[in-house]
């Protein structure tokens, strides 16, 4: 018998999440049956979507939604032998019994030099979102000027680097001077701290006097309203997220939305840098989640068990 730890939503968040909104419970798992496996969490993801989705997809008492990289520690399913790693959407749990239908195997040819945690970051959902938004939504072209906000985060930092690789001029905004320095190191052309800028409108205009061809929108709300008039004719906007609004108790005006090998190659060639903000300990899941929402992370926020 394995006793699993699980973080549940004790009560729906009102505004910014609080430690008391979460509850850590223990649950005894059943013995896996034929076709099933027992998973042990290795890295867990904390992502912005958990805040708005908790409101619409979860009831009080439910286990927090989320993905993790887990190791198979018992197996009655030949497709997932003991010792292999998988990505599972089983939520904020330390252990879980399930069948293979819900699991994505971590590629058997995963390069040794690339941390498995990147399956939750640049090689996973955030990285692929960045690539898709740039290539399929913005259809970005060499020589164009791109704006990305939440630029030092999991999605934003990949967006800016891929756009540079494609020969674009990249403007990024982030919420601390340390993040600004990091983005300059990554090769962004113009970066500013949106929290200390005297005027967002002027900082954006100074960074790109002729306006923006593409806008990768991660923040929404007032930020997007300021950007709109600075879009060039035939400009394209990838509306990816609106984190500035996720903790609102009263609605603001503004926008609210409801190729893996390629990424390995870029990382191994040193062209795509993937900083991670790693918090240690399953018990620190709520702190890691709240820290990410308030901007503590440079790169992808993950928890290492």
Ligand X SMILES: NC(=O)C1=CN([C@@H]2O[C@H](COP(=O)(O)OP(=O)(O)OC[C@H]3O[C@@H](n4cnc5c(N)ncnc54)[C@H](OP(=O)(O)O)[C@@H]3O)[C@@H](O)[C@H]2O)C=CC1
Binding site for ligand LYYGC724 (CB under 6 A): 48-49, 52-53, 65, 89, 125, 241, 257-258
| Least distance between ligand X and beta carbon 9 (Å) | 18
Instruction: Tell which residue, 267, 297, 9, 299, has the closest CA to residue 155.
Output: 299
Query: What residues have CB less than 8 Å from 291, skipping those under 6 apart?
Result: 277, 279, 297, 301
In the bound state, the residue with its beta carbon closest to ligand LYYGC724 is 49
Task: Answer for the pair 149, 254: CB distance below 8 angstroms, yes or no.
Answer: no
Q: Is the dihedral of CA 137, 143, 144, 146 positive or negative?
A: positive
In the bound state, the residue with its beta carbon closest to ligand X is 153
Task: Answer for the pair 295, 301: CB distance below 8 angstroms, yes or no.
Answer: no
- Closer CB to ligand LYYGC724, 45 or 279, in the complex: 45
| Least distance between ligand LYYGC724 and beta carbon 167 (Å) | 28
| Least distance between ligand X and beta carbon 241 (Å) | 2
Q: What are phi and psi of 89, to 5 degrees?
A: -100, 40
Applying the rule CB under 6 A, the residues between 129 and 148 that interact with ligand X are: 129
| Least distance between ligand X and beta carbon 122 (Å) | 10
Query: What residues have CB less than 8 Å from 175, skipping those under 6 apart?
Result: 193, 194, 195, 295
- Report DSSP letters for 250-289, one per residue: SPPSS-----HHHHHHHHHTTSS---EEEEE-GGGHHHHH
Please identify which residue in 174, 214, 274, 302 interacts with ligand X, judged by CB under 6 A. 174
| Least distance between ligand LYYGC724 and beta carbon 44 (Å) | 12
Instruction: Tell which residue, 257, 225, 252, has the closest CA to residue 241.
Output: 257
Query: What residues have CB less than 8 Å from 201, skipping those under 6 apart?
Result: 226, 230
Contact partner, 218, from ligand LYYGC724, ligand X, none, Cβ < 5-8 Å per class: ligand X
| Beta carbons within 10 angstroms of residue 63's beta carbon | 18
Please identify which residue in 153, 160, 172, 235 interacts with ligand X, judged by CB under 6 A. 153
Q: How many residues bind ligand X (CB under 6 A)?
A: 28
| Least distance between ligand X and beta carbon 154 (Å) | 4
- State the number of CA atoms in the 13 A half-sphere of 216 facing the CB: 35
| Least distance between ligand X and beta carbon 115 (Å) | 16
Please identify which residue in 10, 24, 49, 84 interacts with ligand X, judged by CB under 6 A. 49
Contact partner, 65, from ligand LYYGC724, ligand X, none, Cβ < 5-8 Å per class: ligand LYYGC724
Contact partner, 254, from ligand X, ligand LYYGC724, none, Cβ < 5-8 Å per class: none
| Least distance between ligand LYYGC724 and beta carbon 241 (Å) | 4
C-alpha to C-alpha distance for 166 and 184, rounded to whole angstroms = 17
Residue range at the interface with ligand X (CB under 6 A); choices 95-103, 150-158, 162-170, 198-206: 150-158
Rg (CA), the chain: 20
- Closer CB to ligand X, 37 or 159, in the complex: 159
Residues that bind ligand X (CB under 6 A): 47-49, 125-126, 129, 150, 152-156, 174-176, 179, 218-219, 240-244, 292-293, 295, 297, 301
């Amino acid at each position: 018998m394995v006793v699993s730890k699980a973080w549940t939503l004790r009560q729906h968040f009102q505004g910014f999440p609080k430690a008391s909104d979460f509850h850590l419970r223990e649950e005894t798992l059943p013995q896996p049956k034929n076709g099933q496996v027992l998973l042990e969490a290795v890295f867990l993801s904390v992502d912005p979507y958990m805040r708005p989705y908790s409101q619409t997809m979860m009831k009080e008492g439910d286990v927090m939604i989320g993905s993790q990289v887990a190791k198979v520690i018992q197996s009655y399913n030949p497709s997932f032998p003991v010792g292999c790693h998988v990505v599972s959407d089983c939520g904020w749990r330390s252990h879980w019994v399930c069948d293979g239908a819900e699991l994505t195997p971590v590629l058997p040819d995963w390069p040794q030099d690339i941390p498995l945690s990147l399956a939750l970051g640049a090689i996973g959902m955030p990285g692929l979102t960045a690539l898709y938004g740039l290539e399929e939504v913005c259809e970005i072209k060499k020589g164009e000027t791109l704006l990305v906000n939440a630029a030092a985060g999991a999605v934003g930092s990949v967006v800016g680097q891929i756009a540079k690789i494609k020969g674009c001029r990249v403007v990024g905004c982030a919420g601390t001077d340390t993040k600004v320095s990091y983005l300059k190191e990554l090769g962004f052309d113009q970066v500013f701290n949106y929290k200390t800028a005297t005027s967002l409108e002027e900082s954006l205009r100074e960074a790109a006097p002729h306006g923006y061809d593409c806008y990768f929108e991660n923040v929404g709300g007032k930020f997007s309203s300021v950007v709109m008039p600075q879009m060039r004719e035939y400009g394209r906007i990838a509306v990816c997220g609106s984190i500035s609004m996720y903790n609102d108790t009263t609605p603001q005006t503004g926008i609210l939305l409801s190729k893996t090998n390629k990424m390995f190659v870029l990382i191994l060639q040193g062209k795509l840098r993937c900083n991670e903000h790693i918090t240690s300990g399953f018990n620190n899941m709520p702190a890691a989640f709240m820290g990410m929402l308030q901007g503590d992370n440079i790169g992808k926020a993950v928890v290492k068990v």
